């Protein structure tokens, strides 16, 4: 039963990947059209329906996958990105950057591949986060009394300043929704910046340590392995399972006397 559930969840996820990528693109286009175009009337209704339908598809996909999992707690802990995709559907577009993780000329070590993936996905997620936050804050602030974030250019500037925690203060949200967007953007920016910085630091350390293996300290496991090898090389050979007593020189056939005629 456990094997069947795992296969069902995996099969469902494999079959829905492409439709959900298309849905995330539709979500992004409809949401951008609604906000940047400042739609009213039927246009606003159409864009909103597309946004809600595609968002519902992501929520349904997450709930179906969770229901197919045998151990739901373990699946929940191991699939936190799936929850992020359900809450912010356009984050799934980061998967389209997968081809950038195979850069020609790079070493195909496990650490190098992992660092490349983290860097590419981190930068992609940062750009998407900035863009979506700009749309959200513009939609919340544009028609609010006393608001100064009234154009998409200003919204992009505010998002870049906020995500980097620079905080010039020249543009600030005045609505509750706009401030919550700012809070999410700051926390998301700090998290992504930490991941990218740690990845770059790991890469720099690896480059600095390259061709300097003789300067690296030996571990206890390495020392134990070396001692065992030395013991194996210096121990006397055994015959019959245990070393026998040392034997002296063989007696001579002439009685052992070295003198002539002895």
Per-residue confidence (pLDDT) for residue 4, from 0 to 100: 45
Per-residue confidence (pLDDT) for residue 254, from 0 to 100: 52
Per-residue confidence (pLDDT) for residue 77, from 0 to 100: 87
Q: What is the DSSP string of 177-229?
A: HHHHHHHHHHHHHHHHHHHHHHHHHHHHHHHHHTT-GGGSPPPHHHHHHHHHH
Per-residue confidence (pLDDT) for residue 262, from 0 to 100: 46
77-103 pLDDT, tens digit per residue, is 888 888 888 888 887 887 776 655 555
First and final CA of the chain: distance in angstroms? 92
Per-residue confidence (pLDDT) for residue 238, from 0 to 100: 58
Per-residue confidence (pLDDT) for residue 35, from 0 to 100: 93
Residue 169's contacts (CB-CB under 8 Å, 6 or more residues apart) are none
What is the longest distance spanned by two Cα atoms in the chain? 132
Per-residue confidence (pLDDT) for residue 30, from 0 to 100: 94
Per-residue confidence (pLDDT) for residue 144, from 0 to 100: 92
Per-residue confidence (pLDDT) for residue 228, from 0 to 100: 81
Token reading at 206: 């690896």
Token reading at 175: 């609505």
Q: In this structure, what are the phi and psi dihedrals at residue 168, rounded to the nearest 5 degrees?
A: -65, -35
Residue 72's contacts (CB-CB under 8 Å, 6 or more residues apart) are 66
Low pLDDT (below 70) residues in the chain = 1-7, 97-115, 196, 199-200, 202-219, 236-262
């Amino acid at each position: 039963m456990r094997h069947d559930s795992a296969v069902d969840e995996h099969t469902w996820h494999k079959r829905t990947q492409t439709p959900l990528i298309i849905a995330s693109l539709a979500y992004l286009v409809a949401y951008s059209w609604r906000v940047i175009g400042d739609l009213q009337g039927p246009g606003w209704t159409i864009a909103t329906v597309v946004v809600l339908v595609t968002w519902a598809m992501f929520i349904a996909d997450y709930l179906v996958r969770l229901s197919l999992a045998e151990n739901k707690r373990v699946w929940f802990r191991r699939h936190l990105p799936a929850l992020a995709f359900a809450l912010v559907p356009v984050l799934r577009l980061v998967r389209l950057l997968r081809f950038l993780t195979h850069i020609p000329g790079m070493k195909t070590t496990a650490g190098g591949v992992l660092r490349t993936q983290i860097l590419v996905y981190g930068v992609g997620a940062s750009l998407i986060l900035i863009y979506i936050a700009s749309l959200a804050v513009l939609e919340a602030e544009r028609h609010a009394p006393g608001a100064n974030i009234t154009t998409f250019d200003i919204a992009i500037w505010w998002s870049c300043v906020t995500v980097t925690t620079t905080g010039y203060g020249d543009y600030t949200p005045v609505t509750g929704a706009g401030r919550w967007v700012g809070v999410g953007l700051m926390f998301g920016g700090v998290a992504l910046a930490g991941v990218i910085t740690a990845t770059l630091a790991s890469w720099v350390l690896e480059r600095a340590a390259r061709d300097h293996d003789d300067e690296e300290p030996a571990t206890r496991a390495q020392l134990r392995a070396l001692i065992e090898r030395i013991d194996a090389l210096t121990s006397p050979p055994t015959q019959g399972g245990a070393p026998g007593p040392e034997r002296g020189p063989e007696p001579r056939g002439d009685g052992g006397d070295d003198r002539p005629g002895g």
